[in-house]
Amino acid sequence: MKNKEIKFLDLGKMAYIQTWEKQEELLNQIVHMKKMKTGSDDKSEIATPNYLIFVEHPHVYTLGKSGDVQNLLLNYLQLKARDAEFFKTDRGGDITYHGPGQIVGYPILDLENFGIGLRHYIYSIEEIMIKAVESFGLTASRDPKATGVWLDVGKPSARKIGAIGVKSSHFVTMHGFALNINTDLEYFQNINPCGFADKGVTSVEKELGFKQDFELAKTIVREKFAEILGATII
CATH number for the domain that contains residue 84 = 3.30.930.10
pTM for this model (two decimals)? 0.92
pLDDT in tens, 186-214: 999 887 765 555 578 999 999 999 999 99
Percent with pLDDT over 70 in the chain? 94
What residues are labeled active site?
194
- Place 35 in a pLDDT band, splitting at 50, 70 and 90: confident
Domain span holding position 85: 5-233
| Full 3-state SS string of the chain | CCCCEEEEEEEEECCHHHHHHHHHHHHHHHHHHHHHHHCCCCHHHCCCCCEEEEEECCCEEEECCCCCHHHECCCHHHHHHCCCEEEECCCCCCEEEECCCEEEEEEECEHHHHCCCHHHHHHHHHHHHHHHHHHCCCCCEEECCEEEEEECCCCCCCEEEEEEEEEEECCEEEEEEEEECCCCHHHHHHECHHHCCCCEECCHHHHHCCCCCHHHHHHHHHHHHHHHHCCEEC
What's the domain count of the chain?
1
Mean pLDDT of the chain: 91
The region of weakest confidence among 58-72, 97-111, 161-175 is 58-72
